[in-house]
Structure 1
């Protein structure tokens, strides 16, 4: 029992302590600890390559961790009604930022995904994902509660606008992520089975269209299917790192892949974990992600508040799928896609946005959270 907080305690923190999913909270803190260790191990070599002080990138990330923890805990204190309000406001802000990114954002490698705000480089799409899960979940639930309101149509229109803005950057990976969130929520909201097949076919058609429309997508798919078809430098180094790490790893700080892999601190941080900490540590990471996602879905599916069910399912879908994409790319199980490993990879926007998303998820899956849900 938490010192000073009994079950009869009716204070805000007391009620939070006895209703929040403490096991998931512990797992999230362990993930952040993994992230801190791996950022300190992987980022110095990257910092030196780009002309920064040795621990410059590590300091930037570690300074943001307390803020991320505060945001996650602070949001987890809120009721479902307040989570809905915060999420919808965040969604509106994200839409504005996505439009601003297209207008005044910085172009990097042919894509416009970043915008400078007060000296801080912000990736609006990271914040759009959790807020979209809240907004779309609310629209679906509103349509079920008030039959005169076109909830499915409104949620679909919101998805189309968000995906359209992402494809204009272009950022196919984030568009796929948002489509996955939308698909899961639509299914749980009562999507007829004959439409499930239609949306699956539409998704496959979209991937096929992206192959022909976006050269970088074609290159990655060709490289995945045929080793001789494109540049496989990063994925080859990643696979070598896992092989060199073996069961127990070479030891923290002893790896070599970070010295030659451009994205060792970000998209390929899982390879650094494999080389320095070994297979067993990587399996622990996989189990942590699986535990958080499955436990979150279990608690969400036990809710009788449709908004809570749909919003939390969307948030956990984003969290789990993002981890799966990152780890699958590092292991060459899927075509490479630049996406951070939640709470482990370097990236300020990703860290803060994920903290917001998981804070919302913890709030929504608190026991009896459905009783304080959106009207």
Structure 2
């Protein structure tokens, strides 16, 4: 699924662009078929988090393709209904949502230890490698790496890290909107949204703003397929937005 995410965005952007040419290619239909196939495979696992990630990125690409806002709102409504249905279809989703809504009546060991680690960091942190509370945080090298960084480097570093991701996504979307080629524009926007959304989900879980979900923090969490895939994703995005003759609108 890690490598499927950027591949899907590239393919659906291509299909959206081909459909806009009016040459009889059913680009939108093919794009939606690829999307439903992807989320179908993810839900079989089941992996609801990656499904949400792909759905939002697909929606961003769909919107950047120039479709009417009513279509985007319809897709958003269907996606929200589908997400709500996972509560009733998958027991582990219901368990995580229940723990989030009623923490006093369930085991919230992960988020509690993460909150203690973040609080222990204070303004400037304990120092690199000096974290103490991190030893009690499950999955500290992947899902909860943000809490470790907050304990060792403090609030200022944590806010700087969030600002860096925000700048990366904002700048990437700005560059994407200036591109002349519809395929490059849609693909780059979808990829930057996906990177930003993954970072948002990881940080939000660490701060107990949303139910827990196994989602790595791009470029910060321990390596593996996720690290390689996120490097590939941003490599695609940079390739699409690099400055070359005729790529950008003048002015």
Q: TM-score range by the shorter chain?
A: over 0.9
Provide structure 2 residue ranges, at least 5 long, that are not aligned to the other structure.
Answer: none
Query: Does the CA-based 8 Å contact 2:179-2:247 persist in structure 1?
Result: no
* Aligned with residue 361 of structure 1, among 237, 244, 248: 237
Quote the Cα distance in structure 1 between the aligned partners of 2:69 and 2:228. 37
Matches within 5 A, 1:75-224: 125-224=1-100
Residue 370 of structure 1: how far off its partner (Å): 6.0
The alpha carbon displacement at 1:194 in A equals 2.1
> How far is the alpha carbon of 1:215 from its aligned partner?
0.9
Q: Structure 2 vs 1, CA of residues 333 and 163 (structure 1 numbering), >3 Å: closer, same or farther?
A: same
For residues 212 and 231 of structure 1, the distance between their equivalents in structure 2, rounded to whole angstroms, comes to 20
Runs of 4+ aligned structure 1 residues displaced above 4 Å come to 369-372
Deviations 1:101-140 (A, max 9, x none): xxxxxxxxxxxxxxxxxxxxxxxx1111111111110010
Ranges in structure 1 where 5+ consecutive residues have no aligned partner: 1-124
In the superposition, the TM-score normalised over structure 1's length comes to 0.64
Alignment correspondent of 2:129: 253
3-state DSSP of counterpart to 1:322: helix
The SS at the match of 1:310 is helix
Q: Does the CA contact (< 8 Å) of 2:120 and 2:133 recur in 1? A: no
Residues 1-375 of structure 1: matches in 2 within 5 Å?
Answer: 125-368=1-244, 371=247
Q: Is the 8 A contact 1:257 1:264 kept in 2?
A: no
Deviations 1:291-338 (A, max 9, x none): 111111111100110000011011101100000000000001111111
Q: Distance in 2 between matches of 1:151 and 1:230?
A: 47
Bigger Rg over Cα:
1
**Counterparts of 2:143 and 2:192, CA distance in 1:** 20
How many residue pairs match? The answer is 248
TM-score by length of 2: 0.95
| Rounded Cα–Cα distance in structure 2 between residues aligned with 1:185 and 1:149 | 18
Please, what is the CA RMSD of the aligned residues? 1.4
